[in-house]
Amino acid sequence: MMDGRPAGLPLHEVRALSRSLAAARDEQVIRVVEMVDALDRRDAADGILAPLRPRLAQMRPARPLRFARLLFMPLDSVIVPAAGWRPGSATVPRTALGPLAAAVRSALGPAARDIDAAIAGCSAGDRRIVGLTGAGLWPRAGAVLAAAPALDGWAATGLPPAAAPDICRAAGAVLLAAVHLRRLAAEAAIGVRLEPEPLHAILAGPAQSGSEALAMAVAVLLAMLPQAAALLPRGASVIGPDGNALMRVAAGQAAEVLLGRLEAQGGSGTLAAANCLDEASAEVGRTVTLLDELEGSGPPPRRQRLAAIRGQLARICKERFSGAIERGLAAPLRAMARSPDPADLVDMEATARGLRQLEQASRRLGGSAHYEALLHDAATAVRTSGGALSLCDKARLVEILTNSDEAEAVLDGLAPDCPGQQDPAPPPRVAG
């Protein structure tokens, strides 16, 4: 492949094929992706999919867990199109992934086949399998790449030959630290307080591989744990005599990488487009925290970029919120049979909880009154939906969407509809 296009295809044919895919329906795009994922060698097909990556990020189709996909998961936030890569930018150009993966697979030998067997039939969304197999792969792969091995097929990447060793070393340093970085993120998710000492102990490894590796590791860290930004300047001398200065430079580079990523994603709209509302809420929350952390640092042009991203993300969140109400509540209510399937009720309650989570995350971007009005309208639709739902079902949904007082109003004086209750108590209060 040269310049990101499939080898053997004229440029005008590649453009025509990409245009046809860009106009295709979602189900057609997913079918093409499934066919590409089934290929043993997909280098050429990746060139065809390249223009669709922003759309695929929004659609989030289920993807099979392959060796290369597992290998590069820790680097996802720093992978960029080859056209957007620059030497020293603390990013990994996408066209380099094939040669890097081939070098790791060759070095691991039979162990790579063991990993293939362990992930066969698994989805990239299976966090347990990713965590288990990744913990065995990433440190070994990091050691391979940190040694800057010779890379077969580098000429086809369209990248300068001199870039290969630096990309290898930086990517390898991040992979060596990946398990520890993910552990920090997992601990933070359950309330463990972040401390600068263990953070800098992890970053000391990438720092030994050079400033680009350190900046790449910081970018990966902040993509997972944006709240760690405040800890980076504290005690950075542990990574070396010039640690504080190195960390300032690395943090600045990492901020540019992540801002560029958000802008390339259409104002971070893809971060609000996860299939599950709870995933969307978590990603929106991380993004807003990152924007908050970057707000107080950097030159005025950066603040202008931050403001633009905030505005675009706020718009996308409102669109996602409205769409979720329609798809997850309004449409099912209209289609619901007189005796609804219990699974439909479970799905509707999950949607209602997801809406509240997304509301809490999105409020940080402004527009509280907008979300309150939409939730009130959704609760009204539930309350007036006719006889498909029992009063208890309606009360549960209304409380999740609004509050227990609204749920009590639904139940007031109507106890016979709720089995086993003569004087109905309000449904359990929903936190938040």
pLDDT tens profile 206-247: 999 999 999 999 999 999 999 999 899 887 887 878 888 899
Pick the last residue of a domain from 15, 36, 57.
Answer: 57
Task: Tell me: do 242 and 181 sit in the same domain.
Answer: yes
Q: How far is CA 6 from CA 1, 85, 160, 257, 416, in A?
A: 5, 19, 19, 27, 67
Given this model, what pLDDT does residue 62 score? 61
pTM given for the model: 0.78
Pick the last residue of a domain from 264, 299, 321.
Answer: 264
Given this model, what pLDDT does residue 238 score? 78
Q: Do 388 and 336 meet the contact criterion of CB atoms below 8 Å apart? A: yes
* CA nearest neighbour of 49 among 66, 34, 65: 34
For the chain, which ranges sit under pLDDT 50?
A: 1-11, 14, 267, 413-432
Write the CB contacts of 147 (distance below 8 Å, at least 6 apart in sequence).
168, 172
Dist CA 282 CA 274 (whole Å): 10
Task: Tell me: do 363 and 250 sit in the same domain.
Answer: no
Task: Tell me: do 255 and 378 sit in the same domain.
Answer: no
Dist CA 20 CA 109 (whole Å): 40
Given this model, what pLDDT does residue 223 score? 93
Task: Tell me: do 256 and 291 sit in the same domain.
Answer: no
Task: Tell me: do 394 and 275 sit in the same domain.
Answer: yes
Given this model, what pLDDT does residue 167 score? 97
Task: Tell me: do 33 and 137 sit in the same domain.
Answer: no
CB burial class (10 A; 0-12, 13-18, 19+) of residue 417?
A: middle
Task: Tell me: do 143 and 257 sit in the same domain.
Answer: yes
Task: Tell me: do 53 and 66 sit in the same domain.
Answer: no
Task: Tell me: do 421 and 331 sit in the same domain.
Answer: yes
Task: Tell me: do 319 and 410 sit in the same domain.
Answer: yes
Q: How far is CA 410 from CA 111, 399, 405, 418, in A?
A: 60, 10, 9, 12
Task: Give the range of the structural domain holding residue 234, as residue numbers without chain letter.
Answer: 62-264
Task: Tell me: do 241 and 373 sit in the same domain.
Answer: no
Helices (H), 38-162: 43-49, 53-59, 67-72, 97-108, 110-119, 127-146
Task: Tell me: do 175 and 231 sit in the same domain.
Answer: yes
Q: What is the count of structural domains for the chain?
A: 3
Given this model, what pLDDT does residue 2 score? 39
Residue type, 198: P
Beta bridge partners of 235: none
Given this model, what pLDDT does residue 417 score? 43
Helices (H), 225-276: 243-264
> How do residues 92-105 score in pLDDT, each as one tens digit?
999 999 999 999 99
